[in-house]
Structure 1
């Protein structure tokens, strides 16, 4: 029943956005009475928080699996595959992602996203450490990791939400070049 309610809530968020979502709408899409919904969730925010939590868990597992499976790859492959995995995980629906981004802090589920960022940061730090001889030496790995994780996360989120007139492959090419250039040693270091 909980999964049914969460699936319905996700559909309502996609179709109506956060403001258009209500417990009555969610219950209607789930094919249950509002009273049945209230047996599991006290209000709309609790349902939305559970939807965000479920999405965060799925996204973290999907991205972390892909990133960790490519730690032994050269930087161009690792970066592109990692970004593509994040983009795939985020690309559920612009309105759903917008609801997540805009309401996560208010609903108290920001810790899920912080845990996701930390997991990806740990994997990125491992990659940078394993490949340090090929990377620029004028920044610490902790600084580079923080910058890269947030840069990629922000650009991927904006790409899904804004839906710019940029093909997905072109976006992946450009953001990969951006990351690789950030990591590339300066000519004087070569």
Structure 2
């Protein structure tokens, strides 16, 4: 029942948007009565929290797995593969990303997004600290923060905007040049 309600919550959020998200709509899509829904979730915020938590957890898992798989091969291949994994994760649910990034009040998603950033940033900072030969940046944690935010923001805007002038491969090439120039320049 919980899974049905969460799936319905995601569906309502994507199809109707944040402003039209309600427990009555979620109950209707889930095929349950509002009273039954309230046995599992006290209000619409609780459903929304689960939907958003799961979304960011999925994105984080994909990116962290890609980064962890390639941590031994630091360099252009790792940077490109990690940026590609982020694009793939964001593209997997573009509609939900749009709602999360553009419709939800900032505070609804801030903590979850920060957790994703922190997780990836810590992996990169640890690697940079252990391998001072791969960068000229004096502070690994600062360099990791800059790299993570640059890649995240470029990737989110590309997925949401779908600009005609930038293909996926061109974006990955530019991210690689940006990160390479920053870390090695």
TM-score (norm 2): 0.88
Give the match for residue 81 of structure 1. 81
Flag the 1:47–1:16 CA change in 2: closer, same or farther, 3 A: same
Are the counterparts in 2 of residues 62 and 89 from structure 1 also a CA contact under 8 Å? yes
Give the match for residue 159 of structure 1. 158
Give the match for residue 177 of structure 1. 177
Flag the 1:87–1:182 CA change in 2: closer, same or farther, 3 A: same
Which deviates the most, 70-79 or 155-164?
A: 155-164
Q: 1:135-174 CA distances to partner (integer Å, 9 max, x unpaired)?
A: 224x311211111111111111112222222322222222
Following superposition, the deviation at residue 131 of structure 1 comes to 3.5
Are the counterparts in 2 of residues 129 and 141 from structure 1 also a CA contact under 8 Å? yes
Flag the 1:164–1:93 CA change in 2: closer, same or farther, 3 A: farther
For structure 2, list consecutive stretches of 5 or more residues without a partner in the other structure: none
Q: How does 1:73-152 map to 2 (within 5 A)?
A: 73-101=73-101, 102-103=103-104, 105-107=106-108, 110-137=110-137, 139-152=138-151
Are the counterparts in 2 of residues 66 and 85 from structure 1 also a CA contact under 8 Å? yes
Give the match for residue 40 of structure 1. 40
State the secondary structure of the residue aligned to 2:73: coil
Q: How does 1:25-36 map to 2 (within 5 A)?
A: 25-36=25-36
TM-score (norm 1): 0.86
CA RMSD of aligned residues (A): 1.9
Give the match for residue 188 of structure 1. none
C-alpha separation in 1, matches of 2:26 and 2:167: 34
Are the counterparts in 1 of residues 41 and 47 from structure 2 also a CA contact under 8 Å? yes
For structure 1, list consecutive stretches of 5 or more residues without a partner in the other structure: 186-190
State the secondary structure of the residue aligned to 2:104: helix
C-alpha separation in 1, matches of 2:142 and 2:114: 17
Are the counterparts in 1 of residues 126 and 140 from structure 2 also a CA contact under 8 Å? no
C-alpha separation in 2, matches of 1:20 and 1:96: 14
